[in-house]
Amino acid sequence: MALLDESRWNDLIYSDGAWGPGTGSRSDVVEPATGEALGRITLATPDDVARAARTAANAQREWAATPHTQRAAVLRRAAALWTEHAEEITWWNVREVGAVPGMAGFAVHVAEQECYEAASLPSRPYGSLVPSEEPRLSMTRRYPAGVVGVISPFNVPIILGIRSVAPALALGNAVLLKPDPRTAVTGGLILARIFQEAGLPDGLLQTVIGGVDVGEAMITHPAVRVISFTGSTRAGQRVGELAGKHLKRAHLELGGNSAMIVLDDADVDAAVGLAAWGSYFHQGQICMTTGRHLVHERIYDDFVQRLADKAAKLPVGDPAREEVALGPVIDATQRDKIHALVTAGGGRIVTGGSFDRLFYQPTVIADTTADTPAFAHEIFGPVAPVARFSSLDEAVALATASEYGLSLGIVTQDAMRGVALADRIPTGIVHVNDQTVNDEANAPFGGLAASGTGSRFGGAGANIDAFTETRWITVRSQAATYPF
């Protein structure tokens, strides 16, 4: 049986465990590669958000009291369903998002693993004993936060949604999920159907598809206690500001302009292979994308030429109909932003720098500096700006000449030299002898500075901190006495 069919979701919203009419306007689900409509969705309104938040809060109380074994079982069934429906989910990821099949398959794999990792959370210790100078039992205990609002972006909608949805549910919370309207099926409705089929009780996961007004209604509703946001730094600043005003925790996973440093002893062919994957995988539409290549002057010219040769040979086209390395970017607005940065000057375009409809050619820009727009800003497209350095101090200066601090790659034949260099560059993630794009469900994930509020995803510790509240509890055998 299909996970999704038009009679189940077309022109409907998922709320309170059922599909029904929403109160917002209709919007087409558009395939970026062709511009064709794949179906229609109903956008939510702030009123829909308020109704969903109220019913989620009611459902959450019973869910939090459910035995941990039952919550874990729902997460395990959800994990199995990702694999069972992998072909259908991949089809949607390719068509709606523009992902190549390899990327779409990777998303399914990570989603499965996120659910299995989350299934281990309900049975973990939920408190600890604390020494007290009084004759009493003193302890801490973790409680579900309540209702969690998850706002996920268009670029990798499955992974960037499930990594918050799964642990939040496992730990006894309810979730309101607001996917980007451009990828509402892959990032929202598919997750709703997975958990519906897994036996999640009604009301605990609801999708509210919409724009800024829907997101702000979620952040400000009193029933929503925690916000998990993944998106641009600019939008994240607004989310953090609004959440702070309403005294709510906001976990912010934001933009990046990650550097890969190629030291003078690196194997050039190996470095070029890493560079191409880091900059061009998924059309560069990943927060961890390698946005800056810092290459030692001894091998700089060779690196630039080999990377340009490789980029020029990568096939670009419709991933649903051709075997390609790169598919389309999400829409014309994103394409035009990419092109504006590429053509802003300050470097030499060696290859690429052009597009056909939403298909942007893999691009190499040589001789960039810290002031070059394509080097200084997050491009979110298939562009590899390259700068040269002559010393480790210069490499550190270039790598830290950014407001972002998400991921870092270092390529060298001396791994410990790479670790020592990484210690000088503040960043949330480091990969020695690898590029910057890596993701595993059990590993902490998060950035610093303009890249976010640190590791709030991946691993039991980060997830428990993100989606629970800590309470201090003391117990005495007799009532305490005081001087008055």
CA distances from 98 to 79, 157, 400 (A): 24, 11, 32
Whether 287 is a known active-site residue: answer yes
Report the distance separating Cα 281 and Cα 275, nearest Å. 10
What is the pairing mode between strands 18-20 and 13-15? antiparallel
Q: Which residues contact 472 (CB under 8 A, 6 or more apart)?
A: 130, 138, 139, 140
Report the distance separating Cα 219 and Cα 240, nearest Å. 9
Residue 334 phi/psi, 5-degree rounding, is -65, -40
Dihedral angle of Cα 78, 81, 86, 90, to the nearest 10 degrees:
-40
Alpha helices, H only, 231-322: 233-245, 268-280, 300-313
Structural tokens at position 350: 């060696």
At residue 199, what is the residue type? Answer: G
Q: Taking the CB of residue 89, how many other CB atoms lie within 10 A of it?
A: 26
Structural tokens at position 462: 């980060």
Give, in degrees to the nearest 5, the angle at Cα 258 between 399 and 164. 140
Report the distance separating Cα 291 and Cα 398, nearest Å. 12
Report the distance separating Cα 152 and Cα 439, nearest Å. 16
Report the distance separating Cα 185 and Cα 82, nearest Å. 15
Q: Which of 36, 253, 323, 394 is catalytic?
A: 253
Structural tokens at position 269: 């062919």
DSSP 127: E
Report the distance separating Cα 71 and Cα 62, nearest Å. 11
Structural tokens at position 107: 């998303």
First and final CA of the chain: distance in angstroms? 71
Report the distance separating Cα 267 and Cα 269, nearest Å. 6
Whether 253 is a known active-site residue: answer yes
Q: Which of 96, 112, 115, 287 is catalytic?
A: 287
Task: Enumerate the β-bridge partners of residue 410.
Answer: 261, 432
Q: Tell me the torsion sign for CA atoms 17, 21, 23, 29.
A: positive
Q: Which residues contact 61 (CB under 8 A, 6 or more apart)?
A: none
With H, G, I as helix, E, B as strand and everything else as coil, classify residue 274: helix
308 contacts 350 by C-beta, under 8 angstroms: yes
404 contacts 447 by C-beta, under 8 angstroms: yes
- For the annotated catalytic residues, the residue numbers are 253, 287
